[in-house]
Amino acid sequence: MKIAVELVVRILSELDPKALHVCMRLSKGFNALIKNSPILRYHIALFSRGFVDGASDLPLYPTTFSRQKALLDLEDSWYNFCPRMRTRIEGGNFNVLAKRFDGLWAEYRCHPVDGPRLTLTTLPSIVMGVGLEDSKERTREIKLEDEISDFTIHDHQDLLILADRSTTQNGSLEYTLHLRTLSQNTSHPKANKSSLKLCTLSLPTADDDDEYGERFVYQVFGHMLMVLIVLKYEESLCRSFLRIWNWETGDVLWTHDGEKRIISSFSHVAADLLMLAEHASPLTPDGLAPQLSLWSLQEFPNETLKLLNVQTLLLPPIKNGKTYPVHDEEFLTLDDFNILSSPNPIDLATMAPSASPFHFDMMHRVFALVLAVSVHDRRLPENSTTTTFCICIPFKTILKSIYSGPLMDCRPNQNQFNILSKKSTAGPRTIKQLGLAWEDWGRKGACFNHVNAESYNFSVSGMRCSYLEDNGGFTIMDFSPSILQKGATDAQLVTRGDQKYWTVLKRPRTGTLGVGPAIFDIETPGEVLFVRTGCELSDVEGAMVDMEHVLILRGHDVDVWTM
């Protein structure tokens, strides 16, 4: 007989660790249930290591009620922003090419003597029971043969992807991906080809390729590898290239060369659903404005992939009197337009929503759209200003938008993207501005925020979005149902005389428009609520979150807060 996880949690709250381990030894079924449940392993680790019952030199909770309350208040580490454990990665921020993956910190550097190498550090994990006592065994190095431009890691498939860039004789940039094993840095046994050609991009404007900035976006799901490269010239988006492979066979499934139509970012939302952030290049008042488009992925046995447009989410329109590039006195440019989310797509087949604070509610998983918009004054060019906006969109909003009515003007093949396989090519085509207006999807289904932070200082993990403000304030926007419920319970509206105020600051709230109405035609920040937590940080270069950690970049080091 299968025991519900919630029931085992209640049983667990009544037992101490010693009695629990006796039960695990006596019952194979109970032992298997514990070992197969990350939630229960998490609770056991918390009990065993004193994170719930207190440190070893402090008395345990004396009553069943106090133990039950401690168990149900595990989310307080995020709610009150109180880390359970603090460690440091010495020299983990020595170079600029460093990345965080869930449970892993990776840094690339090129030593003058030892050459290029990757340093991988496994972060402490209460869930996995690693790194809680000895940190020396958690770091290893991978020596590389050549210098690289970028990299990504997919730990579940032992996959390490290295990207390098070379310059051709005519001055174009050529990008190649190399597929390696993460464990041994050898050719991957599942990959028929050790290298995949991403693209060759010409540079029509700049004489020196150093004037260009580049950004890579990766997504790996099963045999499918998606890679986007975006080029920026003078801080503005100017070119993109997106390619999808079957990385095991090496076959190209789909390609889009964004000459006139830039894809600035993407997110593999679900196994068969892709979300693209796109706009026209250059931006014109009557061209394709920045938007989010949703595409159904349809893979065929002949190694081709078809993308079918199922919906388009339009952003708040630009306010009258301000157009993107054309105006007598001032104009706007789009410096960043990024989608941030957890790396793995949502599995709709196994998704089981739950109100329990110990479950990850997929319906509330957040996709953050970060925009950096610059306002330029033709009369005083030095007075240009850049403003950052963040639009947080729960997965349930994306799902609902697909069924919010048919697409307009859906003639045969009208909503079909350019389909490019390894045997065919197609040029860009004009796309009309169709889809759901902001009022139809964003007013009730999103959270619009004006944020005093650089666009690169954002991160998203699960149901949380974080950003580091210019003044050092680190903020986490938590959209999880349990945190919202706790915030609503704790927050009480008190009336004293003519004044009304909340007893705590963690009440659920909507976003903040800020200067948004000065640029966009928008009146409300949306009705999606979140609870705000965080703290003030000093002398930091960056801060970010993953499922279990807050990572703070201080000088050459990385402070790791295990929550």
Residues 489-546 pLDDT 10s: 776 666 656 655 555 678 899 999 999 998 888 999 999 999 998 888 888 999 999 9
Q: Look at residue 82 and give its three-state secondary structure.
A: coil
Question: Could you tell me if 176 and 323 lie in one domain?
Answer: yes
Provide the pLDDT for residue 232.
Answer: 82
Question: Could you tell me if 464 and 370 lie in one domain?
Answer: yes
Provide the pLDDT for residue 204.
Answer: 58
Contact 86, 77 (CB under 8 A): no
Question: Could you tell me if 280 and 389 lie in one domain?
Answer: yes
CA distance 538 to 555: 11
For residue 416, the one-letter residue type is: Q
The closest alpha carbon to 82, from 540, 533, 554, belongs to 533
The closest alpha carbon to 236, from 216, 219, 215, 257, belongs to 215
Structural domain for 486, as ranges: 148-348+356-529
Q: How far apart are the first and last CA of the chain?
A: 34
Question: Could you tell me if 42 and 170 lie in one domain?
Answer: no
Question: Could you tell me if 165 and 64 lie in one domain?
Answer: no
Q: Look at residue 59 and give its three-state secondary structure.
A: coil
CA distance 189 to 318: 51
Provide the pLDDT for residue 381.
Answer: 73
Residue 40 lies in a domain: yes
For residue 462, the one-letter residue type is: G
Residue 133 lies in a domain: no
Please count the other Cβ atoms lying within 10 Å of the Cβ belonging to residue 375. Answer: 17
Question: Could you tell me if 30 and 164 lie in one domain?
Answer: no
Extract the tokens encoding 162.
């290295």
Q: How many domains does the chain have?
A: 2
Extract the tokens encoding 83.
């880390």
Provide the pLDDT for residue 460.
Answer: 95
Calculate Rg over the CA atoms of the chain. 25
Provide the pLDDT for residue 534.
Answer: 86
Question: Could you tell me if 182 and 289 lie in one domain?
Answer: yes
Q: Are strands 493-496 and 115-122 parallel, antiparallel or unpaired?
A: unpaired
CA distance 362 to 366: 9
**CA distances for 525 relative to 129, 313, 437, 447, angstroms:** 41, 16, 14, 6
Backbone angles phi, psi at 85, to 5 degrees: -155, 140
Question: Could you tell me if 311 and 407 lie in one domain?
Answer: yes
Provide the pLDDT for residue 136.
Answer: 55
CA distance 70 to 150: 44
Question: Could you tell me if 411 and 295 lie in one domain?
Answer: yes
For residue 298, the one-letter residue type is: Q
Residue 234 lies in a domain: yes
Low-confidence ranges of the chain (pLDDT < 70): 1-21, 37-75, 95-96, 126-129, 131-137, 203-211, 281-287, 320-328, 348-360, 405-433, 491-504
pTM recorded for the entire structure: 0.80
Strand order of the β-sheet with 549-554 is 85-89, 557-562, 549-554, 542-545
Q: Look at residue 459 and give its three-state secondary structure.
A: strand
Residue 406 lies in a domain: yes
Question: Could you tell me if 65 and 152 lie in one domain?
Answer: no
Helix axis angle, 38-48 to 5-14, nearest 10°: 10
Residue 554 lies in a domain: no
